[in-house]
Amino acid sequence: MSALVTAISLAQDPPAKETLAPIDYGAIMPMLIILGAACLGVLFEALLPRHQRWSAQVALTLLALVGAGVTMAFYIADAPADGTLTLAGAIAVDRPALFLWGTLLALALGAVLMIADRTVEPGGAFVAQAAIRPGTVQDREQRLGAHPDRRDGARFQMQTEVFPLTLFALGGMMVFCSANDLLTMFIALEVLSLPLYLMCGLARRRRLLSQEAAVKYFLLGAFASAFFLYGLALLYGYAGSVRLADIANAAAGSDRSDTLLFGGMALLIVGLLFKGSVGPFHAWTPDVYQGAPTPLTGFMAACTKVAAFGGILRVLSVGLESTQWEWRGIMWGVAIVSMIIGAVLGLTQTDIKRMIAYSSIAHAGFLLIGAIVLTPDGLSSTLFYLLAYGFTTVATFGVISLVRDADGEATHLSQWAGLAKRSPLVAGVFTFLLLALAGIPLTSGFIGKFVVFSAALSDGMAPLVVIALIASAVAAFFYLRVIVLMYFSEPAPDGPTVTVPGAFTTASITLGVVVTLLLGIVPAFALDWADAGTFALR
């Protein structure tokens, strides 16, 4: 596969003659900060003594996130309205890219706070040493975590490589959202995926489940990457370029065989849909969501979805816009399958993390509806939906990580019975989040569905919207079941308890809940931002 990348990159036109435009460092500064901080984090791991690493890494990561956010805010103030292309046209920094970057940074802030938390699970949710084999004495020892009353507790702090890995993944996602050619997009895809594969296997408890999840994610992800790459190759063969805009031009008028175009398109889209966990390419989602450490699941569920749909939006509306009548029917089918799989299979789940995984598949279907509406309304509504869904999801996984018994997180639904009696606050917060996922008014979920569905309706997709409404009704049913369980059942005597979270997790959940509420009541500011401009078509 690597040889193929090299071959394609070598075969590209050398930009030898024309003088290159200078790099717009202001525009790509947020990306550089995140990737630079990731490299710095690797150095920290190598050079700092073990007991200093956690504080140094957390400080570095948070600083990087805030710093990237601040530089982006400064850049937005005088950014050109129709976006800018830089790095020899490989990166497009336009309004949607900036919106996605902002969303990613904010969501990552919430997720990183959860990843860094060491109070909910003593020592952190990640394993002390990835090399410890499951089931061994060392594993049992590290599972007890870094309890403050343990003398040798410090040895069992979490593996702090997760911070630079998270930053690498985040950097990859940011590049992915703004990649203006398919090759850059592929590299970004790998940069964002590889750290995630690795981190999935790093849960402190239930290590076998976690490692299984990592292996499955890696194997299936490798298939998807291969699909993407072969699709890229075919499209290059068709258009003679990997630039999205060039592919669009070629598709509008080229004498080459359409088999290359359609075959390439199909393969490329499969790769993208896989990352967005859109059914029927969702096979990894439930296992990985369940096995991965919960803070990481939150990060994946929110940020990967944003990045994947950012990429899908850009590919569809810049690269494949001129062929939309060819692929639209297929995408209708995919969206329908995704919504139905998510909604119907979610019904019988008994594990709360798996249930949210299926819910995310259904949401991917809703998002896809917005993504295939290639109007400005479709774009802005999908962006808004991503923002809303991301925050709700991060907070949801935050709450899930709080309900625990002696074996760690109590994710079986029966263990959630009567939670309202044990902890009315947590049950209330979770109810609110579930209502947001179901799309009940006064939550961000409602506004999100509302804007996406109305954009689709005005673009003549009424049948799709009807199916989406039915699917969301079915999905609402399983969210409501959890609410019924929490409020209207008696708690088991030896049921789980709700851990009082430390400052980090509290901050993360609060952030998610407040944004979910704000976007539900005063969505105007976010909608205006999402509506600010379209993709740079160059």
Partner 1 sequence: MAVDRGGTRPTADRPGWSACVIAVAGFALCLFAGGAGFSLPWAPSLDLRLAFALDGLAVLYGLLATGVGALVFAYGTRYLTLHLEHQRRPAVERWRFWPWMTLFAVSMVGLATAQDLVLVFVFFDLTAVCSYFLIGFDRAEREARRSALMALLVTVVAAVAMLVAAVLLHAEHGTFAIPELLDRAEPSTTTTLAAALLAVAALAKSAQVPLHFWLPKAMAAPTPVSAYLHSAAMVAAGVLVLGRVHPLLARSEAVLTGLVVVGAASVVVGGVLALRRDVLKQVLAYSTISQYGYMVMLYGIGGAAANGAAAFYVLAHGIAKSALFMTAGAVTMATGEDRLSRLGGLGRRVPVLAVAAGAASATLAALPLTVGFFKDELLFAAAVERGPVTVVLAVVAATLTFAYIGRFWIGLFLGPARGSVGAASTLLVAPVVVLAAVAVLGGVVVEPFARLAEDAATVSAGEPVTMSPGYHLDARPENLMAVAAWALGGLLLVLPRLTDGLSRAFAAAGERFGPRRAYDGTLRALDRVSAAVHDREVRDLRGSIAAVLVPAGLLIGVAFVATPTAGAYMVGIVEGADWVILPLLALVVVATVVTARARVRLVVALALAVVGFALAALYALVGAPDVALVAVVVETMLTLVFVAALSRLPREDPDRFVPGDPVRRRRDVFAALLAGLAAFVALWGFLSQPAADSVSDEHLRLTPSAHGGDVVTVIVADFRGLDTLVEITVLLVAVVGVATLVRRGRLW
Per CB under 8 A, which of residues 64..123 are in contact with partner 1?
Answer: none
527 forms part of the interface with partner 1 (CB under 8 A): yes
263 forms part of the interface with partner 1 (CB under 8 A): yes
Interface residues for partner 1 in 280-299 (CB under 8 A)? 280-284, 287
The one among 9, 52, 414, 497 contacting partner 1 by CB under 8 A: 9
The one among 267, 361, 387, 427 contacting partner 1 by CB under 8 A: 267
Stretch that binds partner 1, among 8-16, 311-319, 361-369, 491-499 (CB under 8 A): 8-16
| CB atoms closer than 10 angstroms to residue 426 | 20
**What are 428's two structure tokens?**
């209330």
Find the shortest distance in angstroms from Cβ 50 to partner 1.
18
Provide the residue type at 342 as one letter.
G
Q: Can you tell me whether residue 490 is helix, strand or coil?
A: coil
Site string for partner 1, 398-437 (x = CB under 8 A): -------------------------------------x--
Find the shortest distance in angstroms from Cβ 288 to partner 1.
10
Find the shortest distance in angstroms from Cβ 320 to partner 1.
13
d(CA 466, CA 32): 43
Stretch that binds partner 1, among 120-128, 181-189, 191-199, 345-353 (CB under 8 A): 345-353
Residues 1-34, buried b or exposed e (16+ Cβ, 10 A)?
eeeebeebeeeeeeeeeeeeeeebebbbbbbebb
Q: Which residues contact 219 (CB under 8 A, 6 or more apart)?
A: none
The one among 130, 187, 344, 498 contacting partner 1 by CB under 8 A: 344
Stretch that binds partner 1, among 45-53, 170-178, 273-281, 307-315 (CB under 8 A): 273-281
Peptide bond into 280 cis (omega under 30): yes
**What are 493's two structure tokens?**
């005597």
Find the shortest distance in angstroms from Cβ 306 to partner 1.
21
Toward partner 1, which CB reaches closer, 52 or 350?
A: 350
Q: Which residue, among 161, 412, 204, has the nearest Cα to 294 in the 3D structure?
A: 204
d(CA 254, CA 247): 10
Interface residues for partner 1 in 473-512 (CB under 8 A)? 473-474, 476-477, 480-481, 484, 487-490
Find the shortest distance in angstroms from Cβ 127 to partner 1.
19
d(CA 185, CA 311): 8
Stretch that binds partner 1, among 66-74, 276-284, 298-306, 500-508 (CB under 8 A): 276-284
224 forms part of the interface with partner 1 (CB under 8 A): yes
DSSP structure string for 438-470: HT-TTSHHHHHHHHHHHHHHHTT-HHHHHHHHH
The one among 18, 78, 255, 494 contacting partner 1 by CB under 8 A: 255
> Beta-strand (E) ranges in 55-181?
84-86, 91-93
Toward partner 1, which CB reaches closer, 398 or 439?
A: 439
The one among 234, 364, 371, 410 contacting partner 1 by CB under 8 A: 234
138 forms part of the interface with partner 1 (CB under 8 A): no
Stretch that binds partner 1, among 27-35, 179-187, 472-480, 501-509 (CB under 8 A): 472-480
Find the shortest distance in angstroms from Cβ 17 to partner 1.
9
CA dihedral 152, 154, 158, 163 (to 10 degrees): -160
Find the shortest distance in angstroms from Cβ 436 to partner 1.
13
Toward partner 1, which CB reaches closer, 165 or 394?
A: 165
524 forms part of the interface with partner 1 (CB under 8 A): yes
Percent of the chain as helix, strand, coil, to the nearest 5: 70, 5, 25
Site string for partner 1, 446-465 (x = CB under 8 A): xx--xx-xx--xx------x
Toward partner 1, which CB reaches closer, 121 or 287?
A: 287
Evaluate whether 247 touches 315 at the Cβ level (below 8 Å). Answer: no
Helices and strands in the chain: count of H runs, count of E runs: 22, 5
Find the shortest distance in angstroms from Cβ 278 to partner 1.
10
Residues 237-270, buried b or exposed e (16+ Cβ, 10 A)?
ebbbbbbbbbbbebbeeeeeeeebbbbbbebbbb
d(CA 202, CA 218): 14
Provide the CA 279 distance to its chain's centre, in angstroms. 16
Find the shortest distance in angstroms from Cβ 429 to partner 1.
16
d(CA 453, CA 321): 20
d(CA 201, CA 215): 8
Q: Which residue, among 373, 519, 501, 367, has the nearest Cα to 425 in the 3D structure?
A: 501
The one among 89, 153, 240, 428 contacting partner 1 by CB under 8 A: 240
The 3 state secondary structure assigned to 123-147 is CCCECCCCCCCCCCHHHHHHHCCCC
Find the shortest distance in angstroms from Cβ 10 to partner 1.
5
Find the shortest distance in angstroms from Cβ 512 to partner 1.
21
Site string for partner 1, 171-200 (x = CB under 8 A): ------------------------------
Give the H or E element holding residue 334.
helix 324-346
Find the shortest distance in angstroms from Cβ 4 to partner 1.
10
**What are 500's two structure tokens?**
């009082």
Find the shortest distance in angstroms from Cβ 350 to partner 1.
10
18 forms part of the interface with partner 1 (CB under 8 A): no
Number of residues that bind partner 1 (CB under 8 A): 83
Find the shortest distance in angstroms from Cβ 180 to partner 1.
20
The one among 108, 345, 367, 403 contacting partner 1 by CB under 8 A: 345
6 forms part of the interface with partner 1 (CB under 8 A): yes
